Amino acid sequence: MGQRTSDTRGITFEDAVVPKENVLGGEGNGFKLAMKAFDRTRPIVAAAATGVAKRALDESVKYSLQRKTMGVFIAEHQAVSQMLANMAIDVEAATLLMLRAAQGTDDGILAPYDASIAKAYAADAAMRCSTDAVQIFGGNGYNKEYPVEKLMRDAKIYQIYEGTAQIQRLIIAREILMKAKMMNQ
């Protein structure tokens, strides 16, 4: 599908022996270490997804000001202008959420709540914006001659890697409930 330049593969280790001095964080702590790493990398994924959403918006604005139907630019049709507005809202919100999560990372604060919200929202925004871009382009949006079909293919992976959209929501809910329980003690 998308991100064809990323040659991603699964690997399996069978009967692999890791010397004690090469074990990171101690035996049995690998999952915790990986989760902490995700808190640092999810804002980066959010930034990339936000970039896809922004490109989808930019391409849609440009195309809608060039393409005419019924004697007017398609940008002047209410349905298209509403889609453009929703795309802009998504891009702005994703940008702000990503910046908040990135600032926490820069400040040395591991914040799974902020990182997961930024990643989940930006990934969903990229998918919504790229889907809307294909719709705005009409039949041309499905065509490889135009950039939006690639954006739609590329957007999907952001809802999957670094934790699926559903996993992000579990993390967010866990953090909300943990804070609520602490306040009620």
Q: Which among 145, 149, 162, 175 is annotated as catalytic?
A: 162
- 117-135: b or e for each residue (b if 16 or more CB lie within 10 Å)? bbbbbbbbbbbbbbbbbbb
- Concatenate the DSSP letters of all residues of 107-166 into one string: TT---HHHHHHHHHHHHHHHHHHHHHHHHHHGGGGGSTTSTHHHHHHHHHGGGTTTS-HH
DSSP single-letter state for residue 52: H
Q: Say whether 162 is catalytic.
A: yes
Query: What does the alpha-carbon distance between residue 153 and residue 46 come to, in Å, rounded to a whole number?
Result: 16
Q: Which residues have a catalytic role annotated?
A: 162
